[in-house]
């Protein structure tokens, strides 16, 4: 099939590379000239495990081209995947500017019937509005399909090949045919439903996962007060098949490009529709407070923050990615700095731009980062930090040798034996 993918972010590039390797002819559209030039040289504009190799394979097959010209890309395409960004506005609303502009572009430039597959995360009701206001006015018939994406960053390639389900929202059941063909080799339940329900599946899934995280973080906070261990509690709770073990890891809370944005957007949509989604509001609040708690813990352990030197291990919002959007580490570092602490940060892949307020404080070598620190916060559970030589770390640090294990992944007993003041989350 001839496919056009508009937007070369995490989702767009995974879609474009995977489909071209599977035998489709793909033209990917990117308006950012810097990104476009990197991609044309077969270079990745961001880090995502396994994707660089896929890009090279797709390009070797001559199955993937890059352009900034939507008109040319549309000329030869049967399916157009829309994978542009939908960032948050200050009030929690989703900024649909890029989605609307691509939709208008397609409606204006399409010269033959085409199916638009919306993969960008858009609030429930958006597809219906786009069809009414834009696609129905095009000079050629345009079919609209909502096909939310559930990829995790860092595992995007694996998740694409092994999804739990494929959700397809359509106005008429026959509109799903082209997309079902594209997915014919992927083994997963394929659910065809109406457009608004498909949009809602994405928000409900993310809100539910975020709820699990905030719930377990609240249980962890309570564990600290009553003297229970969250690791044992999570295990005991997660073995109940009705609950399941995933997303029960207590820590610094969720970050990234999806959960913070999507929970706020769903809260906004609820309020807009006259419904106060109190549970979701609490999930968002608990997540924000989890970061403040960590700052307070460090303040307490170091009897103040002014002039204290604190090493932050990990800046990415989770391992396997260089994404720092809504990353707890960045937020915590900023709060520590504003309260007079001296911060050293370390991440194996994150490259902060020269204008970033933490760029001068960032090290590649964790041993350099912990030098002279009174406390170390493990913020991202990169393998590199799990394999640290803690005796060497201790020699480089200064009393009171605080280790705040923000992801509960370090060996508490071993660190305590080595003379560290170990603090976890809910332990």
Which residue of 107, 182, 258, 397 would you call a contact of ligand UDX, by CB under 6 A?
Answer: 258
DSSP single-letter state for residue 137: G
DSSP single-letter state for residue 360: G
Asked if 215 is part of the footprint of ligand UDX (rule: CB under 6 A), the reply reads: no
Stretch that binds ligand UDX, among 37-45, 88-96, 188-196, 241-249 (CB under 6 A): 241-249
Which residue of 16, 213, 302, 376 would you call a contact of ligand UDX, by CB under 6 A?
Answer: 213
In 188-258, which ranges are continuous DSSP H helix? Answer: 195-226, 230-238
Please calculate the CA angle 379-380-384 and round it to the nearest 5 degrees: 120
Which residue of 105, 190, 193, 247 would you call a contact of ligand UDX, by CB under 6 A?
Answer: 247
For residues 277 and 282, what is the distance between their CA atoms, to the nearest angstrom? 9
For residues 229 and 220, what is the distance between their CA atoms, to the nearest angstrom? 8
Question: Residue 138 or 294: which CB sits closer to ligand UDX?
Answer: 294
Question: Residue 320 or 366: which CB sits closer to ligand UDX?
Answer: 320
Per 3-state DSSP, what percentage of the chain is helix, strand, and coil (rounded to 5)?
A: 45, 15, 40
Binding to ligand UDX (CB under 6 A) within 351-380 occurs at none
Question: How many alpha carbons fall within 13 Å on the CB side of residue 329?
Answer: 35
Residue whose Cβ sits closest to ligand UDX: 258
Q: What is the DSSP string of 11-61?
A: HHHHHHHHHHHTT-EEEEE---HHHHHHHHTT--SS-BTTHHHHHHHHHHT
Question: Residue 144 or 160: which CB sits closer to ligand UDX?
Answer: 160
Asked if 309 is part of the footprint of ligand UDX (rule: CB under 6 A), the reply reads: no
Binding to ligand UDX (CB under 6 A) within 18-47 occurs at none
Shortest Cβ 37–ligand UDX spacing (Å): 27
Shortest Cβ 328–ligand UDX spacing (Å): 7
Token pair listed for 327: 């990353």
Choose among 217, 163, 206: nearest CA to 187.
Answer: 163
Asked if 308 is part of the footprint of ligand UDX (rule: CB under 6 A), the reply reads: no
Catalytic residue among 27, 258, 346, 373: 258
Stretch that binds ligand UDX, among 27-35, 88-96, 247-255, 333-341 (CB under 6 A): 247-255
> How buried is 307 (Cβ within 10 angstroms: 0-12 exposed, 13-18 middle, 19+ buried)?
exposed
Stretch that binds ligand UDX, among 100-108, 128-136, 251-259, 308-316 (CB under 6 A): 251-259
In 302-423, which ranges are continuous DSSP H helix? Answer: 328-338, 366-370, 383-386, 390-396, 412-417
Q: Does residue 400 have a cis bond before it (omega within 30 degrees)? A: yes
Which residue of 256, 311, 366, 406 would you call a contact of ligand UDX, by CB under 6 A?
Answer: 256
For residues 378 and 383, what is the distance between their CA atoms, to the nearest angstrom? 12
Asked if 325 is part of the footprint of ligand UDX (rule: CB under 6 A), the reply reads: no
- Mark whether 223 is an active-site residue: no
Asked if 385 is part of the footprint of ligand UDX (rule: CB under 6 A), the reply reads: no
Shortest Cβ 274–ligand UDX spacing (Å): 27
Token pair listed for 165: 């389900």
Cβ atoms of residues 389 and 318 within 8 Å: no
Q: By rule CB under 6 A, what string of x and - marks binding of each residue 153-182 to ligand UDX? A: x-----------------------------
Asked if 255 is part of the footprint of ligand UDX (rule: CB under 6 A), the reply reads: yes
Shortest Cβ 113–ligand UDX spacing (Å): 30
Which residues are annotated as catalytic?
Answer: 258
Binding site for ligand UDX (CB under 6 A): 149-153, 206, 209, 213, 247-249, 251, 253-256, 258-259, 317-318
């Amino acid at each position: 099939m001839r496919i056009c993918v508009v937007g070369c972010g995490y989702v767009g590039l995974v879609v474009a590379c995977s489909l071209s390797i599977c035998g489709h002819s793909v033209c990917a559209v990117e308006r950012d000239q810097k990104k476009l030039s990197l991609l044309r040289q077969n270079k990745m504009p961001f880090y995502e495990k396994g994707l660089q190799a896929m890009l090279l394979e797709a390009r070797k097959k001559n199955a993937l081209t890059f352009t900034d010209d939507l008109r040319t890309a549309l000329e030869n395409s049967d399916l157009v995947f829309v994978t542009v960004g939908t960032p948050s506005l200050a009030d929690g609303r989703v900024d649909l500017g890029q989605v609307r502009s691509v939709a208008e572009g397609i409606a204006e430039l399409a010269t033959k019937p085409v199916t638009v597959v919306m993969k960008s995360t858009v609030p429930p009701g958006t597809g219906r509005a786009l069809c009414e206001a834009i696609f129905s006015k095009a000079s050629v018939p345009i079919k609209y399909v909502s096909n939310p994406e559930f990829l995790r960053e860092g595992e995007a390639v694996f998740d694409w090949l092994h999804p739990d389900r494929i959700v397809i929202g359509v106005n008429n059941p026959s509109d799903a045919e082209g997309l079902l063909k594209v997915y014919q080799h992927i083994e997963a339940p394929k659910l065809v439903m109406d457009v608004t329900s498909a949009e809602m599946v994405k928000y409900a899934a993310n809100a539910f996962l975020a709820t699990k995280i905030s719930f377990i973080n609240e249980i962890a906070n309570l564990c600290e007060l009553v003297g229970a261990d969250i690791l044992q509690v999570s295990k005991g709770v997660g073995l109940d098949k009705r609950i399941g073990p995933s997303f029960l890891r207590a820590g610094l809370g969720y970050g990234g490009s999806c959960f913070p944005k999507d929970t706020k957007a769903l809260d906004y949509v609820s309020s807009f529709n006259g419904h106060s989604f109190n549970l979701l509001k609490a999930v968002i609040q608990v997540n924000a407070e989890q970061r403040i708690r960590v700052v307070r813990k460090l303040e307490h352990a170091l009897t103040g923050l002014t002039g204290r030197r604190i090493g932050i291990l990990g800046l990415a919002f989770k391992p396997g990615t260089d994404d720092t959007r809504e990353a707890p580490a960045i937020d915590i570092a900023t709060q520590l700095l504003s309260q007079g602490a001296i911060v050293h940060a370390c991440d194996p892949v994150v490259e902060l731009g020269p204008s970033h307020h933490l760029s001068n404080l960032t090290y590649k070598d964790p041993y350099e980062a912990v030098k002279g620190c009174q406390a170390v916060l493990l913020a991202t559970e990169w393998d590199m930090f799990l394999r640290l030589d803690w005796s060497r770390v201790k020699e480089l640090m200064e009393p009171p040798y605080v280790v705040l294990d923000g992801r509960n992944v370090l060996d508490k007993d071993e660190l305590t034996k080595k003379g560290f003041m170990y603090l976890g989350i809910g332990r």
